[in-house]
Amino acid sequence: MKTADFIKNRFVSYPVSIFLITALAAVIVLLSGASTLYSRESLDGEIAKALRKTVKCERIEIKTNTGDNKSGDLKSLFMKFVSLPMNGVPVDYVTVQYTDPKIDLKALRNANTVKITSYSDLAVRFLLSEQTIKNEFIRTARRMNFHYDKFLIKFSPPYIELEFSVPAGTIPPKNRKLVEKFMVNDRFEGYAALRLEVRDSRIFVVPAKVILNHFLLPMPVLAELQKRVNPIYQIPRVLPFDYTLGKVDLLKQYVFLSN
């Protein structure tokens, strides 16, 4: 009887033990996962808070990812800055993505500063929409009292096309002298097809074709104009990140700049 009772009790307690062990393991896994999620969300919030000191924009989005790395080391750090004004030009958004970043947590938590001590790759992208560029042109023209009867901007990859009609007096005298023989009734009316280039975080415009008052500008004149107006814009660096922009892609409604 004692042996039978022992066997019976053993078989009764065995499933109970398995259940308790399984339940305990599940709780540990859940708590571990919740802790990791909390830790990651907490880190995302700390980075966003620190960046708001130096980056003034409408919204900052942060996403860290540890992947399958059980050590807790980051596999990637993705940052998105929405409606970021750059020297008066509003960029629709800027994204910064690090691969295998090492973050100085002491600087982050003690000095509220983002410092990336090492990484394997860095991708920086700026996006400007066609509508944003049009709106900025209108604002700038008003601010500078630039008069025009017609000024249309259209993205036709790989070119930005312009159609315009402006009084000759709106063109600076030095540049006006270069094209004054194409002037009709004290005004410049015509069309331009332009390409964009980016070098050392500076934007250059390359005229492929310009027509003034039905005259096609010769290449030597285009070359001289290109030399005089470039670079048209120096893109300031988004602090605290260290990069240089050197690529541009023109899409149907957007301009992408990247490092």
| pLDDT surpasses 70 at 108 | yes
> Are 203 and 231 contacting, i.e. CB atoms less than 8 angstroms apart?
yes
Q: 60 in the Ramachandran plot: left (φ > 0), alpha (ψ -120 to 50) or beta?
A: beta
Q: In whole angstroms, how far apart are CA 154 and each of 188, 189, 209?
A: 19, 17, 15
The Cα–Cα gap between 79 and 43 comes to: 13
Q: Please, which residues have CB within 8 angstroms of residue 56's CB and are 6 or more apart in sequence?
A: 84, 85
> Are residues 99 and 197 located together in one domain of the fold?
no
> Are residues 109 and 222 located together in one domain of the fold?
no
The predicted-structure confidence for 163-172, as pLDDT tens digits, reads as follows 999 999 888 8
Quote the pLDDT of residue 135.
Answer: 85
The predicted-structure confidence for 150-163, as pLDDT tens digits, reads as follows 989 999 999 999 99
Quote the pLDDT of residue 146.
Answer: 79
Residue 19 domain flag: yes
Tell me the CB-side half-sphere exposure of residue 24, using CA atoms within 13 A. 6
> Are residues 93 and 183 located together in one domain of the fold?
no
137 pLDDT band (50/70/90 cuts)?
confident
> Are residues 172 and 193 located together in one domain of the fold?
yes
Quote the pLDDT of residue 10.
Answer: 52
> Are residues 137 and 199 located together in one domain of the fold?
yes
Domain containing residue 190: 131-239+246-252
| pLDDT surpasses 90 at 196 | yes
Residue 259 domain flag: no
> Are residues 20 and 122 located together in one domain of the fold?
yes
> Are residues 8 and 109 located together in one domain of the fold?
yes
The Cα–Cα gap between 86 and 236 comes to: 7
> Are residues 6 and 114 located together in one domain of the fold?
yes
Quote the pLDDT of residue 174.
Answer: 85
User: Span 207-236, mean pLDDT?
Assistant: 93
Pair of tokens at residue 29 = 């896994």
Asked which of 84, 104, 127 is the last residue of a domain, the reply is 127
> Are residues 120 and 135 located together in one domain of the fold?
no
| pLDDT surpasses 60 at 1 | no
The Cα–Cα gap between 7 and 51 comes to: 66
Vertex 19: Cα angle to 14 and 25 (nearest 5): 125
| pLDDT surpasses 50 at 32 | no
> Are residues 96 and 145 located together in one domain of the fold?
no
The predicted-structure confidence for 56-83, as pLDDT tens digits, reads as follows 999 999 999 987 766 668 999 999 999 9
Q: How many domains does the chain have?
A: 2
Asked which of 85, 109, 127 is the last residue of a domain, the reply is 127
> Are residues 215 and 100 located together in one domain of the fold?
no
Q: In terms of Cα–Cα distance, which of 9, 251, 3, 236 is closest to 124?
A: 236
Grouping H, G, I as helix, E, B as strand and the rest as coil, residue 14 is: helix
> Are residues 77 and 139 located together in one domain of the fold?
no
Percent of the chain predicted with pLDDT > 70: 82
